[in-house]
Structure 1
Amino acid sequence: MKKIFIMCLAAGVFSGCSTGTLITKEGTTDNPKWHKADNVILNKDRGTFPNLQSLSQVRQGMTKDQLYELIGRPQYDDGWRPREWNYLFHFNSPGQGENGITTCQYKVLFDQNMIASSFYWNPIYPENAVCPPTLNMPKKEESKQQVSVKRYTLGADALFAFDKSDLNNLNPKGREDLDSLIAELHKLKEIRAIRILGYTDYLGKDTYNLNLSQKRAETIKQYFLNNQINAQVFIAQGLGEQDPVKQCASNLLRNELVQCLEPNRRVIIDVDGIGE
């Protein structure tokens, strides 16, 4: 550890032996970079199985001490006073991954005041895994209780103003759709998990689209929290242009292509809940 730290200073990288991710003063990036998965310096290079309820409470505005209390110390060496924390997490995911385990890297970026600002996932195994995977909380006694997983698909164009992702830029139609969903969720006796996936079309740079979809997913999560929707597990993830639902001819005019690709710009919300 000491040798690595000295090498970093000698190279003039005073922010630490980071991944090389370029971080804005607001604590964001268009191109998250990652350590080699097996370069973990804690827990015998093996990473950890995070507490799911604690992980679901991570959000923007937290201090490093608050994050440490929830998910522990970062597991990679990013040097002295780093503006990124990197983790290696494993998840029990029956039917997925290796022997029912999915492995993902998790990155937290901090702004210039060392406040958590943005969050990123990187699948390790399987390589094309959705991180974190769909997770079911341990079941309580559920006799005579109706358990269901419902999927809601909302158009990103209806939810957000063009190229925007924050609460102030939710469209009236988007707020109406979310409020209708919130009213339905409030009728549930218990919400075990909510998973929010943001998607874009393929137009534009991959890294930009990934970042935009992540911010939109985080905004929907915050909207739910602001309206007293609390789940045992809350996951918000941006997937950029992955999993398109519609293909369009490449020879279309720009406006026609944008319109054709509209179904791919969406937010999917999976709710695992218990009814009355």
Structure 2
Amino acid sequence: MLQNSFIFLPKIGLKKEQGLWNQGILHWDNFLQATQAQQMRGISTKIKGYYDQQLHEAKKALFAEDSFYFQQRLKSNQMWRLYEAFKDQAVFLDIETSGWYYGDITVIGMYDGYDTKTMVKGFTFDKKLLKKTLEAYKLLVTFNGSSFDLPIIERFFQQVVPKIPHIDLRHVCAKLGWTGGLKQIEKQQGIQRDPAVQTPEASDPVYLWQQYQATGEKEYLNTLVKYNEEDVINLKPLAEQAIKRLWNYTYPPHEPTKHHAPTTQKTTQTASADEAGQNQAH
């Protein structure tokens, strides 16, 4: 997916990228191996030399697993193209609060595709630990995190979110016409949740926290943590489905995992949206 993309190059937008694909330039190596006799329409010899240099740098960055390199060059609405390359080093993140956007953070959940890590207010909140945990990853994935999770985390903890690419699945889904909150989209796409957190009470994180604060009963807190775990775990299958679908629309008729490289080379293959109540998607 990433090595089929040229949109991170200066002055190449979606239309020009599509033009390259239409000429059979489907992979970075296709571009690099094109000769002057096979001149690409709309790209001069001088500009091609400049782009060749940029692509060689991009290949080095990908080999070095330097996601920040691509973050600096891709627009935020194209960060999803990094998913296939860095998904094995991605963290899926989601928070719960005591009162939507202006409440306190009650739970921070993180999932690396294998294990979940949960921080709970009053028990395991630790700014240094949160910062260290997030810095171990190359890619951050949320649902509505641009508007909800990340601004709130920065407001409470300040300077803990690392400078790594961020994919907001809410916007990826919107490109596909998948609208609504996280739970609605999960249902639409056949992504299942544990029935234990689907009752009206168990699916309301604000209510669960308020009841825990009022009664001190751990059952409410445990249900809240479980609810958050379902949020972060379900972000991965949603990312897999949405990004694959969007890539197939962007790069037809080729599958997103095909690179069409002429030579074999090493490649790195590598908040909660609590329904519409939380800032439209939460």
Q: TM-score, normalised by structure 1?
A: 0.29
Q: Which structure carries more relative contact order (alpha carbon 8 Å, separation 6+)? A: 2
Q: TM-score, normalised by structure 2?
A: 0.28
Q: Looking at secondary structure, tell me which structure has more strand per residue.
A: 1
Q: Looking at secondary structure, tell me which structure has more helix per residue.
A: 2
